A and B are shown apart, each in its own frame.
Chain A
Amino acid sequence: MNRRESIKTIGLASITTALFDACKSTPATKTETSITDETGRQDFETVRDKKLQAEAFFNPHEIATITILADIIIPKDEKSGSASEAKVPDFIEFIVKDEPEHQLPMRGGLRWLDVKCLNRYQTEFKGCSPQQQLEIVNEIAFSATAKPEMQPGVSFFNKMRDLTAIGFFTSKMGIEDLGYKGNSPNQWKGVPPDVLKQYGLEGV
C-alpha cells in the first residue's frame, strides 16, 4: 500500500451501493461560503471550485432530509455539537458535485427512504415523528443484521454515514472533538515516557 496515496477507497468504495433511478429535482439557491485559501492552487482548480459552488445538486427537500439524517448519525453530546452545527450538509452538497459517483446513490437512496416511510407511516421521512425516524434508521444502520428488503437502505445509509462522519470530523469542531493536537510547529521528542510505560514499550 502506498501511504502517499489517499486510500479512502478501502473504506468507501468497498461499500456497494444499490442504484436507483434518479428523480428530477429543481435546483435550490446555494449559499455556501468560500473558505479556500488560494495558495499554491492551479488556475483550473480555482475555476472548478467556483463553478461547483455556483451549482446546486440537492433540492431543499433533499437537503432538509440530509440534515435530519446527519444529526441522527452525529448528534450533539456533552463533548461537541451536532453534524448540522458543523455544517455537514454543506460539505455533502459540495462533495457530491466534486465526486459525482455519490450523486445517484444519494438521490436514489433518499427517495427509497421517503417511499418506505410513505408506505409505512403515510408520510415522507422528513414528516415522520422522531420515534418513527429512529425506528427506520435502526433497520438500515446495521448491515450484518438488516433484513434483505432493507438492503437498499443499508447501502444508502453506509454512504450517508461515511459522508457525515468525514464532514463532521474534518470540521474545526470535529477535529477538536477527536483531540488531534498537531498541525502546528513543535519539537518532536518522541512518545512521552508515561505513555511508553503505559504500553510497556520502554526500550523498544
Chain B
Amino acid sequence: MGDIQLKTSGQLHDVLVIGSGAGGGMTAYTLAKAGIKVLMLEAGPFFDPAKDSRQLQWPYQSLRRGGNATRAMGDFDAAYGGWEIEGEPYTQKGNTKFDWFRAKMLGGRTNHWARISLRMGPKDFACRTSYGAGDDWPITYDEIKEYYDKVDRLIGVYGTNEGLENDPDGVFLPAPAPRLNELFVKKAATGLGIKVISGRGSVLTAPLPGNTDRAPCFYCGQCNRSCKVYADFSSSSCLVIPAMKTGNLTVVTNAMVREIITDNNGMATGASYISKDDMQEYVVNAKTVVLAAGTCESARILLNSKTAQHANGLSNNSNVVGKYLHDSTQTGGIVVLPQLMNRPRFNEDGVGSLHLYAPWWADKQKLDFPRGYHLEIFGGMMMPSYGGYFGFEGSLVPMLNGYLPDAAGKMKPGGGFGKALKEDYRRFYGTMAGFGCHGTDVAKETNYCEIDNTVVDKYGIPVLRFHYQWGEDEIRQAKHMHETTQTIIKAMNGIPLIAPASQENNWGLANPGKGIHEVGTVRMGNNEKLSAVNKWGQSHDCKNLFVTDGSVFTQQSEKNPTWTILALSMRTAEYIVDQKKKQNI
C-alpha cells in the first residue's frame, strides 16, 4: 500500500455543507435546528472566538506591534489567510488584476469583517427595471423581507428606522452614539445635502431577546479581532457552534474540497476532499449537497467537478459559472481635522462596526453612471498601533507639522525631532476622520474567473484564473465619489491625507477584489440558459445540489452583501427542509 490512500466513508448523511462562512453557517444552523443530520467540510482549522480571539491585547503584546507581516489586516486581526496564501496561488488573465481575499478557518471571513449589515432594497432586486442596468433578480424584496426580519431577530443588528425608499428598515437594536470626529463629518455632509444616519451593524448593543449564549457589547471597538463574548456576529460563534450543540451537525475541519461527486444520473452523491491533517484523500456521501465555499472557491469547485453528464463543470450547462464576478467599487478619503488638535481624551472606542453612514442619496439626480454608492464614516482616537494611529495620522505627523503652527504658534518646516516633535505626536493624536465609499458594480459577463489548467495548488487542484476590468460606468462613479469626498473635506477645513485622485488612477478606485464583496459567479435566475441556480439556490442541472453563498447574487447593490447572504441561505435551507418533507430531494 502506498503513502496516499483514498478513504471512503460508508455513512450517508442527510446534507453535506461545503464551507462554514455566513452562507454555509446559516444553512447548517437552519437544517440542524430542523432535525436534519448535517456534515460540514471546512478548509481551515477550527476557530472559536471565545478561545481564539486576540481581543483586548495591547500592541506591545505583539512583537510587530500590530504590523501586518503575517496577517494582511494586522497581527490582531482574526482572519487566517489573506490576499496570498502559500501554496494556494491564483493567476490573472491579460493585464487585469483581481485581488482574492481568503480566510481559511471556521466561520471564514465573518470572523474579521466590519459587521456592516445592510439589507438590499426593492429597487436593488429589480436593478434592470429600476435603473436600466444589470439584471433583475428572480425574487423581489417582498419575497425575501421575512427572511431579513428573521435574520435580524436571530443574530441582532443595530440601526434606526428611517423609512427610506431603497434602504429598508429592520428589527433594530439601539444604535451606538457617534464618535467626536464622525460628528464633524456628519455636520459637513448634512450641510451639503447628504443625509447621514446611524450605521447598521450586527453588534449586540443590548441583550438579544431569547439568547443566553451571547453577551452584549462592551465597546472595545475590536470586532475585527472577533468577540470573546459573542457580542458581534461571526458564523463560527453564532451559527456553527450553536448548530453543533444540537447534536445534528458534525464539522470536519482542514478539509479542502476537490470536487463534488455525481452519479451516472448526474445527481450529487457527495464530495472528495484532502485532509490537511493527514494529507489523505477522503470521499463523503450525502443525499443533498450544499455548496457555500465562497464566491470564487464555489465556482472553482463546480468547474473542477467535470463528468460525462456535466462536461462543462457541474451546474454549468448555461456556461455562466465563474462569469458575472463583481465586487463593490471602493474609494476613500482620510483627513486630519486641525480643529481637533490637542483634543480631550476619553474612551472613544465605541463599536467595531459603523456608527454613521450616508445611504445612497442621489437616485433622483441626473448622473452619468447607473446605480450609486454609500459613504461609511469613521474616525476617533484609535488604539496606537502599527496600522492604527501609525497607519493614519501618526505616521504623517512629521509632514503635517509643516502645515500648521507648532505648540508655540510658530510655523516651521515639516519634520523635526526632539521634544517639539514628541509634542506634535500628542497634538495630532485623534484628529483623523475618514470615509469609505462602497458602490455598485454592474455585473458583466466579461468579468470572470475560470480554471487555469496549467497551474495546480499544493494539493494538486487546478487553480482559478481571473479576468476583471472596471467599466466606464464604475470609473465615472468613482469620479463622483472623489468629488463628494473632496467637497466634504473642504467643508470641514480638513487636511486631506491622500493625494488628489485623477483620471489616470481611475479616481482612486481600488483594485477589483479589494472590496471583499465579490459575488455573482453562480448567479440565480429563472432562465436555465442564462443562470446556474434557480430562485431557491437550487442547481438547474442537478436538483439535489444547492448553493448558498454570495456566488448566487444576480446583481449586487451598494449594500455590503453579508446580510443578504444570510437571508438567502436561511431561505434556501427552509426550502430544503420543505423539499425533504415532500420527498422531492
Contacts and interface: CB of A to CB of B under 8 A. Distances in A.
B383 A179 contact: no
B386 interface: yes
B62 A141 contact: no
B414 A142 contact: yes
A170 B71 CA distance: 18
Contact of A165 (B80, B390, B392): B390
A172 to B, nearest CB: 6
Given A6-B74, A35-B61, A182-B221, A1 B422 contact: no
B178 A1 contact: no
Most buried by A among B64, B334, B425, B498: B64
Most buried by B among A99, A196, A199: A199
Contacts of A171: 60
Contacts of B224: 4
B180 A199 contact: yes
Contact of B395 (A10, A49, A74, A195): A10
Interface size class of B (residues with CB under 8 A): 35 or more
B384 A174 contact: yes
Contacts of A72: 417-418
Interface of A is mostly: loop
A37 B224 CA distance: 18
B114 A180 contact: no
A39 B52 contact: yes
Interface in B344-400: 344-351, 376, 378, 381, 383-387, 389-392, 394-398
A199 B338 CA distance: 12
Given A180-B345, A182-B221, A166 B386 contact: yes
Interface string B45-61: 10100011110111111
Interface in B311-361: 330-334, 339-340, 344-351
A148 interface: no
Contact of A6 (B54, B68, B348, B350): B68
A48 B497 contact: no
Contacts of B351: 188
Contacts of B416: 141-142
B434 interface: yes
A176 to B, nearest CB: 10
A53 interface: yes
A181 interface: yes
A5 B73 contact: yes
B384 A175 contact: yes
B394 A165 contact: yes
Interface in B412-426: 412-419, 421-422, 425-426
Contacts of B384: 169-170, 174-175, 178, 180
B54 A40 contact: yes
B63 interface: yes
B147 interface: no
Interface string B492-520: 00000110000000000010001110000
Contact of A185 (B74, B218, B391): B218
A79 B131 CA distance: 59
Contact of B64 (A77, A94, A183, A192): A94
A7 B426 contact: no
Nearest to B105: A42
A181 B70 contact: no
Given A98-B63, A141-B416, A201-B180, A6 B395 contact: no
Contacts of A181: 345-348, 381
Contact of B347 (A73, A182, A201): A182
A119 interface: no
Given A2-B332, A6-B387, A8-B391, A195 B73 contact: no
Contacts of B183: 191, 196, 199, 201, 204
B436 interface: yes
Contacts of A8: 67-68, 386-387, 390-391, 395
Interface in A31-46: 34-37, 39-40, 42, 44-45
B335 to A, nearest CB: 11
Contacts of A10: 334, 391, 395-396, 497-498
A18 interface: no
Given A49-B63, A165-B394, A187 B69 contact: no
Contact of A183 (B45, B56, B65, B331): B56
B219 interface: yes
Given A2-B515, A95-B67, A170 B60 contact: yes
A45 B69 CA distance: 10
Nearest to B348: A182
B63 A190 contact: no
Given A161-B417, A183-B56, A48 B220 contact: no
A91 interface: yes
B470 interface: no
B346 A144 contact: no
Contacts of B339: 199
B459 interface: no
A137 interface: yes
Given A74-B421, A158-B398, A174-B384, A195 B350 contact: no
25 contacts: A1-B334, A1-B434, A2-B515, A6-B66, A6-B73, A35-B63, A77-B419, A98-B63, A98-B64, A137-B417, A141-B416, A141-B417, A142-B416, A143-B414, A144-B414, A144-B415, A161-B398, A167-B65, A170-B390, A181-B346, A191-B178, A198-B344, A199-B180, A201-B184, A201-B187
Given A3-B376, A170-B384, A191-B179, 4 more contacts: A8-B387, A40-B47, A42-B70, A185-B218
Interface of A: 1-8, 10-12, 34-37, 39-40, 42, 44-45, 48-49, 52-53, 72-75, 77, 91, 94-95, 98-99, 137, 141-145, 158, 161-162, 165-167, 169-172, 174-175, 177-192, 195-196, 198-199, 201, 204
